[in-house]
Amino acid sequence: MNVNIYYGGRGLIEDPTIYVINKLTEVLNEIRVNVVKYNLYEEKNAIAVLPKTLKEADGIILATNVEWLGIGGYMQQFLDACWLYGDKEHISKLYMMPIVMANSYGEREAELYLIKAWEMLGGITCNGLRAYVEDHVDFETNSTYGQIIEKQAELFYKVINQKTKMLPASNSVIRNNMLKGFSNDLTPQENEQLSMYVSDDTYVKKQKEDIEELAQIFKGMLGSQEKELKQEFIHNIRENFHPLNDFKASYTIEINDTMKTLVIDVNGSNLNCYYGEKEDADVAARTTYDVLNKIINGRMTVQRAFMSGELTAKGNFKTLRTFDQIFQFNII
C-alpha cells in the first residue's frame, strides 16, 4: 500500500502539522505502508506536475496549517493543479485524509475546505485530524494527543485496505455540472504533458517571448496598413498632377462610406494633398469610395460623376470643371 502526504505549510519548526505528519508516517511504516512526503514549499516551482504523483498512491493525506486564515497558497495551488491536470478517473478511487493544525482561528473551516475540494475533484474523503495548538511543545509532548494520532493512522489504513464505501454526497452533482463547462478534452497523459510545460519556466518564458514577438509583428502590419490607408489616393493624385499657370483652388471630397475627407489644395505648381478638414474650400464635393476610386484610376471624370449624380458638389463650378484638367489620371 502506498500513501502520499502533501504538506502545504512553510516548514517552520514550530508548525505542529509536521509533528502530526511524522507521527502518522511512523505508524503507517510499522504496518508496512510505503509513505512518500511532498513538501509543497520545496516543490513550489513544480506544483503543476505533482498531480501525476497521485497515480502512485492508494490514499493521500493533505496536511496544512492555519497561520492566520485558510489553507495557504501552496495547498491551493496543488488543488488547482489537480483540477486542471489530475487524472479524474484515478482521483475518484483515491482516499484522502485531511490534517489541519492551527495557531489561529479557523481549523474547522480549513478542514471542511479540503474535504469539499477533494469531493469536488471526485475523490473519497475520510475522517481527519484538526486541532488548535497554542503551544506546540505542550501539544507534541502530550501522550493522549499522540495516541489519538496513532489511532487515526490505523483507521485510515483500514479504510484504504478494506476499500470502504462511502454514502453519496451532493458535491458529486455540483461537480458533474461544473465539469460540463470544463472544456478540457485532453487525455490524462496529455494533461500530464501540459502540466510539465506549465511548470517549465524556460518553456513558459519562451512562449511569452514568442507571443510578444507575434504581437509586435501584427502591430507592425496593422501600423503599415493604417499608414497605407492614410496615404490612399494621395500618391495617384500627386503622380497625375498637371499644374496650370496662376491657377489656385482648393477641393474637399467627403467620402461618405469611410467617414474621411480628402483635401486637395492647389497653388500654381504647388500641391498639398491630405486627409483632414478645410472649411473654406472653393469646391466641397461628396461621393462614395467606389466612385472616387474610379476617378483616381482614370475610369471616370469628376465632371461625368457630377452629371450622373454619383458625385455632388457645391461652390465654384468652373473650378470643379478645372479638376479634370489639372488631374489627368491614367486608366489602371
pLDDT, mean of residues 282-305: 92
Q: What DSSP line would sit under 272-302, residue for residue?
A: EEEES--TT-SEEEEE-HHHHHHHHTTSS-H
- Model confidence at 201, pLDDT cuts 50, 70, 90, reads low
Q: Can you give the pLDDT at residue 211?
A: 82
Task: Report d(CA 175, CA 122) in Å as an integer.
Answer: 7
Closest residue by Cα to residue 280 from 302, 260, 250, 253: 250
Instruction: Give the pLDDT confidence of 206-241 residue by residue, as tens digits.
Output: 777 778 877 777 666 655 544 444 577 888 899 999
Q: What is the CA radius of gyration of the chain?
A: 38
Task: Report d(CA 86, CA 90) in Å as an integer.
Answer: 8
B/e letters for 291-319, b = 16+ CB within 10 Å, e = fewer, are: bbbbbbeeebbbeebbeeebbebebeeeb
Task: Report d(CA 169, CA 215) in Å as an integer.
Answer: 48
The DSSP secondary-structure symbol of 331 reads: P
Instruction: Give the pLDDT confidence of 243-256 residue by residue, as tens digits.
Output: 998 899 999 999 99
pLDDT, mean of residues 267-290: 92
Closest residue by Cα to residue 320 from 291, 283, 286: 283
Q: Can you give the pLDDT at residue 235?
A: 87
- Model confidence at 271, pLDDT cuts 50, 70, 90, reads very high
| Geometric angle at alpha carbon 84, from 81 and 89, rounded to 5° | 105
The DSSP secondary-structure symbol of 172 reads: H
Q: Can you give the pLDDT at residue 227?
A: 45
Q: Can you give the pLDDT at residue 257?
A: 86
Q: Which three cell numbers stand for residue 298?
A: 482614370
Looking at the DSSP bridge assignments, the partners of residue 287 are 255
Closest residue by Cα to residue 262 from 291, 294, 239, 230: 230
pLDDT, mean of residues 70-77: 93
- Model confidence at 303, pLDDT cuts 50, 70, 90, reads very high
Q: Can you give the pLDDT at residue 229?
A: 45
B/e letters for 98-123, b = 16+ CB within 10 Å, e = fewer, are: bbbbbbeebbeebbebbbebbbbbbb
Q: Can you give the pLDDT at residue 196?
A: 66
Q: Can you give the pLDDT at residue 284?
A: 94
**pLDDT over threshold 80, residue 200:** no
**pLDDT over threshold 70, residue 175:** no
- Model confidence at 69, pLDDT cuts 50, 70, 90, reads confident
Q: Find how far residue 91's CA is from the centre of its chain.
A: 26
Share of the chain above pLDDT 70, in %: 85
Element (H, E) at 36: strand 34-39
Task: Report d(CA 272, CA 286) in Å as an integer.
Answer: 19
Instruction: Work out the burial of residue 240: count CB atoms within 10 Å of its CB; fewer than 13 is exposed, 13-18 middle, 19 or more buried.
Output: middle
**pLDDT over threshold 80, residue 85:** yes
pLDDT, mean of residues 301-325: 92
Instruction: Give me the half-sphere count of Cα atoms (radius 13 Å) on the Cβ side of residue 249.
Output: 21
pLDDT, mean of residues 296-321: 91
pLDDT, mean of residues 269-293: 92
Q: Which three cell numbers stand for residue 169?
A: 454526497
Average pLDDT taken over every residue of the chain = 87
- Model confidence at 111, pLDDT cuts 50, 70, 90, reads very high
Instruction: Give the pLDDT confidence of 143-157 residue by residue, as tens digits.
Output: 999 999 999 999 999
Share of the chain above pLDDT 90, in %: 63
